Amino acid sequence: MTTDATRTQGPAVRAGLLALTPDTLAALTNRGLVKRATKELAAGTVPTVTTGPDGTVHARHADGSATSLPPGTGLDNGTCSCAASGVCRHLVALVLACQSADPGGADAVSAPETGAAGPDSPEAPAGSPAPAPPPAPAWSPGSVGDDELRAAFGAPALAAARRVLDGGYGARVHRPTAGRPEPWVELPACTVRFPVPGEIAYALTDASTVRRGEVVALAVWAFRAADGEGAHEVTVQVGGRTAPEATTWHQLDSVAGLADELLLSGVAHSGPVLAAALTRAGEALSAESLHWPAGAVGELADQLSAYSTRGAHYRPELVAALLTEIHARRRAAALPGVLGTQEAGTTPLRRVRLTSLGCRVRTTPTGSAAEVYVAHPGAATVLVLRKEWATSEGRGREATETTGHQLAGRRLLGTTLAKLATGNLVSESARRTAGRVLTIAGNRLGATNITPVGVAWTELPEPLLVRDLAALTAGWEGRPPRLIRPRIEAETVRVIALSEVEHVGYDPAEQQLEAVVRDEAGNHARVRSGYRPECPGALDALADALESGATHLSGSVYLSGGSVRIDPIAVLAPAGVTVPDLAPGDGSAALEAVVRQSPDPLTAALDEAIAALASVAHCGLRHLTDPARARLDDAASALSRTGLARAATLV
């Protein structure tokens, strides 16, 4: 369909324009503009394109509009004589016409019609071949100079980025792979991708338009810091101080002292004074942008509150882990990313398309809460949307006894919790924190649309959709210990593509459902979900969904005892998505008993040592009973017998 009218005159078309795929164009503008421009060109309404001596591309359209796109800039810096504000369909048509006119890309105009852009792409005309993408050159965004950044995004954006650089920030740099052939960077509160090699102006980010230039500059500087490393994924700390200030050390020492006092007195003997002191300490840490230790202290204070109110979510093992985390972050404070300093509180996002992966329901000291997990395909991350219903909302004591199924009908973002947990969400008023907590402005419901999830799980990109669990867990090698990593919500939540569900059973002793599944690569994993009174029908619904031809499973993936475990959130089967926590039922269904396997001696010794130490944190070192001392002695002996002499000595 390339005609003489579409052939460019003057110098060759810029390579960057030829590399813009339909998906990239849709991300830079919107899918509707790409559809409309594609249909007009397919119908023969093709602009005349010329390239000036300075590399500026000009186009004259059939309706009389004239567009220009200078070199070194993105579509948002192009100009058009039409009345539309911002990027219009004429600028998109200019790009598509350039691709059609290029001798090596004559089919580029039909590329958006092949369906490669996803479920929203227009239908492909008969006989339109899908062009093979050219091999990506070896290119690092770190090679882009500050002058190029200033030319593409302006001096104010670069100045804003330098202010962040002065304070310092952490980033996770990803180089291209076969599954994701574009470099990208995870910044604390957004993601930046570089889909067009050598063209920084076409970088994509989920941050709002007003911050686009700033975060692209931060991502480029992160690549510069990582270019000396050879790994595909590198965590870097860019700019800022290399060591905490004296005030920071003082605050960390104070918090560590409170943790020691809690360990001495024990949760069972702590009073409201210590709980209030922890709350104030957490607020002080947050005020100084020490987000990660502040999160640990806040969670510890929440555990004390849960115990004092006899809350079901109190866990001695979690208290022990939080006490350890506070000291671990204090000791490792000089390492990058341990304290979360200078992380942005919240970052506004541009129009985002999210896919729900289910939700979790739990009780709180004041009522009930739901956590909806949503995948952000463009940023390759999972975010968490929280909602709490307190007893003060007119339900009195009943609010603390509300089941997950009863919460399923509660209103949230203009729909019900059940529809939100199984839907696709498009929003123009979303914000996210450095810990990947999502908030959506409640006063702009018209800017948020929710549709059924359909088959969106199957179309998620890597690493959100996992087909090989062994490859996923192999990539975790070399990570810092969890106790000093950034406190990221849903850090390991993924969708696992299943090839088989081998066995489903119930362990009455542990009150948990267990299943053995295989991923598409044939790797085994064990699915485990414990009974919770706030979700009485969850295990029955999970068993039914797994046994009804489950194809995909969302959940938190972790390693235990040398094998892969999955804490399930939702299940996709031919009948649709099942969210166990929202399912009806009272848990009375008969489930097949699981065959218990004895843990290996090493795992058993470690588990018992952790449980014994957790009981110490509960009762306190000042109030240690003879049975507790005997349990510690037994745990130490078991560790010694398995060869863990150092651990045995510490216990």
List, for residues 376-425, the tens digit of each pLDDT value: 988 888 999 999 887 644 444 444 468 899 999 998 888 899 999 999 98
* pLDDT of res. 443: 52
Q: pTM of the predicted model, to two decimals?
A: 0.75
Please check the confidence at residue 514 and state whether its pLDDT lies above 90: yes
Please check the confidence at residue 462 and state whether its pLDDT lies above 60: yes
Q: What percent of the chain has pLDDT over 70?
A: 87
Please check the confidence at residue 522 and state whether its pLDDT lies above 80: yes
Spatial contact of 164 and 190, defined as CB atoms under 8 Å apart = no
What backbone torsions phi and psi does residue 532 show, to the nearest 5 degrees? Answer: -135, 130
Q: What percent of the chain has pLDDT over 90?
A: 39
Comparing 47 with 593, which gets the higher pLDDT? 47
Work out the average pLDDT over 557-577. Answer: 92
Tell me the average pLDDT of the chain: 83
Q: Estimate the crossing angle of helix 212-226 against helix 155-167, to 10 degrees.
A: 50
Burial (CB < 10 A; 0-12, 13-18, 19+), residue 318, is middle
Q: Can you tell me whether residue 313 is helix, strand or coil? A: coil
* pLDDT of res. 133: 45
Comparing 573 with 135, which gets the higher pLDDT? 573
* pLDDT of res. 114: 33
> Taking Cα atoms as reference points, which of 562, 458, 437, 388 lies closest to residue 119?
458
Alpha-carbon distance of 379 to 105, in angstroms, equals: 29
Alpha-carbon distance of 441 to 396, in angstroms, equals: 27
Work out the average pLDDT over 217-243. Answer: 82
